[in-house]
Structure 1
């Protein structure tokens, strides 16, 4: 497969690039600013602006799939929907499948149908509410778009860690452990991303966790 990763310098994007390269996929890593000093063998690094639809369409043309792993800078959460829509537009124009790595906010709370993780201070502390709300709006932008999209909601806590290769997959309800925690390493999230690209599931919105 030829995979284009947008946001390749970020916590998730960089690990998706590494996982894709390790599986032998031709990978294009797209950076908005300075690229890292080292990249896995076989990875092509390019500079690109995720808010430029023509530039994105050129990068997506001929790709098997796109992974959108962008994350807004603090104070720029209002731009998430516009950036995501630009990427969806570019994917639709080239007929390219796009997997959007979003947030946990749109997920329902376990045992509480109709509730949202966004509204739970346990999983979304006040300091993270703005970016969480942006991810909920991001999913709505996907739902109304004709592109061939899939939206991956990580669990409540996503941070660098160990690649175990294992995870649980769910749909639209937050996955938690018996003690109520909800987490996964960025390394194992990237495993889930590549698993989905290689063997797509039936759900357009899904989640993973331990």
Structure 2
């Protein structure tokens, strides 16, 4: 198996941890950043940085040539929920369109998703939780629409990875449980995962694909 990754969004909370985990496991990573944007904070002999635009299918295709997988952890910022949602939807479509141009040589596509569209034990969606700020629900619905789009795609090998309801920087334990469309609830009644263990599960999926053409989720 090739260990080459093209990585969009490698500098955020999720992306930076997935990047570190992948590098530590021997992947050769090309981080794709917008012109003038911040580069990953880590330095590693297996890390290269190039410029590109996730919203340009031609740029996606150029970055993806020869890669084993394209990773996307892009987001639109958390100051404007509608803009964030639109960006996430457009990025998903651009990534797919770019990979389509590579035909049979297209790498698989694994993206960071959202928890909002996961089902709760009472049969509702996480985004229906009372009291959520409007900004949060807008972002959640954008991720849900990106997933809805991916579920129409049959000619690109995509995987969409939703976190637990609560995710923040923490400890890397290497322990987690996986599910598909239902929120994973721990023995304490909470749905949570550290960003570090989310990254472990993400790279485990890169190592051994088990959720091609599927969304899956994680929790303790």
State TM-score, norm by structure 2: 0.88
- 2:99 corresponding residue in structure 1: 91
Change (3 A) 1:202 1:34: closer
> C-alpha root-mean-square deviation of aligned residues, in Å?
1.6
- 1:51 corresponding residue in structure 2: 55
How far apart are the structure 2 equivalents of 1:38 and 1:80?
Answer: 25
- 1:18 corresponding residue in structure 2: 20
**Which blocks of at least 5 consecutive residues in structure 2 are unaligned?**
none
State TM-score, norm by structure 1: 0.92
Per-residue deviation, 1:202: 4.1
How far apart are the structure 2 equivalents of 1:186 and 1:31?
Answer: 21
- 2:11 corresponding residue in structure 1: 9
1:22-37 maps to which residues of 2 (within 5 A)?
22-32=24-34, 33-37=37-41
What is the SS of the residue equivalent to 1:121?
A: coil
What is the SS of the residue equivalent to 1:169?
A: strand
Q: Which of 150, 153, 159 is the equivalent residue of 2:159?
A: 150
Task: Summarize deviations over 1:24-76 as a string: whole Å, max 9, x none.
Answer: 11111122212145422311111221111111100001100111111112312
How far apart are the structure 2 equivalents of 1:80 and 1:86?
Answer: 10
What is the SS of the residue equivalent to 1:44?
A: strand
Per-residue deviation, 1:165: 1.1
How far apart are the structure 1 equivalents of 2:134 and 2:4?
Answer: 39
Alignment: residue pair count: 207
Task: Summarize deviations over 1:166-210 as a string: whole Å, max 9, x none.
Answer: 111111100112333211111111111110011111461110011
In the alignment, does 2:215 pair up with 1:205? Answer: yes
Per-residue deviation, 1:120: 1.5
Q: Which of 70, 93, 97 is the equivalent residue of 1:66?
A: 70
**Which blocks of at least 5 consecutive residues in structure 1 are unaligned?**
none
In the alignment, does 2:86 pair up with 1:82? Answer: no
How far apart are the structure 2 equivalents of 1:84 and 1:37?
Answer: 25
- 2:117 corresponding residue in structure 1: 106
